[in-house]
Every structure is written in C-alpha cells, then in structure tokens.
C-alpha cells in the first residue's frame, strides 16, 4: 500500500497527538511518586531521630537513678561513721571519721549537681523529642494524603493511558519505518516531546521561529514532507489538523 504524502503527514500528526496525550497524563502523575518517595524518606529520617532521642533520654534517666543510688550509699556511710563517732577512742580516729563524713558529703553534693544537670538535659531533649514526634505525625498524615492522591490518579489515568498506548502502537504500524525512526529521534531529542508541529502565527510551533511564506505554501500543499529549518521538526498546516479532528 503506497501512501500519499498527505496520508503520511496525517498519520504522523495523529501519532503525535496520541503521544502528546500520553505525555500529559504522565506529567500529571509524574511528580506525585517523587513527592511520596520524599515524604517516605522524611518519615524514616524522623523515626530514626526519635529513636535516637528516646535512647538518649533513657540513658540520662538511668544516669539519674545511678546518682540517686550513690547518694543513698553515701548517706548510709555517713550514718555509719556518725555512729562510730559516738565511741571514738582517740583524736586520730575522730579525725579519720570526720574526714570520711566530709568526703561522703562532698560526694552527695556532686551527685546532686549532676542530677540537676541531667534534669535540665532531659527537659531540653524532651522538647526536641516532642517536636520531632509532632513533625512525624504531621508528615505521616501528608504521606497518607499523597499516597491516596497517587492511587486515585493512577487508577483514573491507567486505563486511559493503556488505551492511548494501544492506539499509538496501532498508529505506528501506519507509518513507514524510515519515517517512524525519524519521528522517534525527533521526539526523544525535543524536551517537549514534539516531533510533528503546526504552523502557528507564521511560525514553527515547536521552536517559534518564523517560517518563510513560500515554505508555508509548500507545507499547505502537502506534496513533500517539510521540516523546520531551525529545529528539524516535521511541519503540518493547521487545516490538516482540523481535517483529522473531524474524521474522529
């Protein structure tokens, strides 16, 4: 089956239209999976931080318990020394015991100071810890919302995309290999995915450069496949796109 140039152009433009529709669907869906992945990372990061804070808080609380036990021990020793002081035999013994009581009293003071410091640390860390917990909760909510959006959009667009893909595959069979390869190369090189474009206000609607009047005439005649001198995209006239739209 030998196609006329006009038929070739129509087939190319039709394929482009289908591909553009698929591109749009993917664009709509495109950013959501990334947003979901970012939120998942953030939630995981917060969970790790919270775990770490919790561990630090537990350690500090343990340290307070240890200090409190040390105080009890020192108090017991002081009591013991004070009992012994009641029946000292000589000055030397008296001095030694008094010295011991002093040492234990100092030990108690050190422990009390440490306990106050740990208490201050706990208050500070608890604030950070609670802020992280609140952040985690709000991030988890955001994640749920985004996941829901992604699921809805995926469900809504998947069928449409599949149908369009099927159509585009069928449309590709209507185009000779040489042209199809050229089309695909153009499409992959263009960041807007456009390989076949119309004349819009005397310009190429792919790169917006002006098209000389004679060239526009040639394009409208549909006797030759004409590409833009600037960007290399295949050019079709507006009327052709309307004719195609009417056919569908």
Binding positions for Zn ion, rule: CB under 5 A:
204, 206-207, 228, 230-231
Taking the complex as a whole, how short is the minimal distance between the CB of residue 7 and Zn ion, in angstroms?
23
Of 9 and 204, which CB lies nearer to Zn ion in the complex structure? 204
Q: How far is the CB of 187 from Zn ion (least distance, A)?
A: 14
Give least dist CB 171 to Zn ion, A: 23
Q: SS3 of 207, please?
A: coil
Q: Which is nearer to Zn ion, 77 or 240 (CB)?
A: 240
In angstroms, the CA 54 to CA 48 distance is: 10
- Comparing CB distances to Zn ion, the nearer of 66 and 216 is 216
Q: What tokens were used for 150? A: 């992604």
**Token couple for 81:** 């020394």
Residue 229: is it exposed, middle or buried by C-beta count within 10 angstroms (0-12/13-18/19+)?
middle
CA angle, 63 then 69 then 70, to 5°:
90
Q: DSSP letter string over 152-202?
A: HHHHHHHHHHHHHHHHHHHHHTTS-HHHHHHHHHHHHHSTT--SEEEEETT
Smallest separation, CB 210 to Zn ion (Å): 10
Question: Can you read off the two tokens belonging to residue 123?
Answer: 């208050």
To Zn ion, the closest distance from the beta carbon of 183 in angstroms equals 15
CB of 185 to Zn ion, least distance (A): 15
By beta-carbon proximity to Zn ion, the closer residue of 186 and 204 is 204
Nearer CB in complex with Zn ion: 175/204: 204
H helices of the chain, in order, are 5-86, 91-172, 177-189, 213-221, 238-247
Q: In what order do the strands lie in the sheet with 234-236?
A: 203-204, 196-200, 234-236
Which of residues 101 and 206 has its CB atom nearest to Zn ion in the complex? 206
């Amino acid at each position: 089956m030998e196609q006329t140039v006009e038929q070739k152009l129509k087939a190319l433009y039709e394929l482009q239209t289908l591909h553009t529709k698929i591109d749009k669907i993917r664009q709509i869906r495109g950013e959501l999976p990334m947003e979901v992945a970012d939120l998942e990372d953030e939630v995981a990061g917060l969970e790790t931080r919270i775990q770490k804070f919790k561990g630090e808080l537990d350690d500090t609380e343990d340290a307070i318990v240890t200090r409190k036990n040390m105080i009890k021990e020192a108090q017991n020793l002081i009591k013991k020394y004070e009992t012994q002081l009641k029946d000292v035999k000589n000055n030397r013994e008296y001095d030694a015991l008094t010295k011991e009581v002093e040492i234990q009293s100092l030990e108690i003071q050190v422990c009390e100071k440490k306990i106050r410091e740990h208490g201050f640390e706990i208050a500070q860390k608890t604030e950070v810890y609670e802020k992280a917990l609140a952040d985690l909760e709000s991030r988890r909510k955001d994640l749920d919302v985004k996941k829901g959006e992604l699921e809805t959009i995926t469900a809504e667009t998947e069928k449409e995309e599949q149908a369009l893909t099927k159509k585009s595959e069928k449309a590709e069979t209507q185009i000779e290999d040489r042209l199809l390869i050229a089309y695909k190369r153009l499409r992959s090189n263009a960041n807007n995915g456009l390989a076949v474009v119309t004349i819009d206000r005397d310009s190429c609607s792919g790169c917006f450069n002006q098209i000389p009047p004679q060239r526009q005439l040639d394009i409208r005649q549909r006797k030759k496949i004409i590409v833009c001198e600037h960007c290399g995209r295949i050019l079709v006239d507006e009327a052709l796109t309307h004719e195609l739209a009417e056919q569908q």
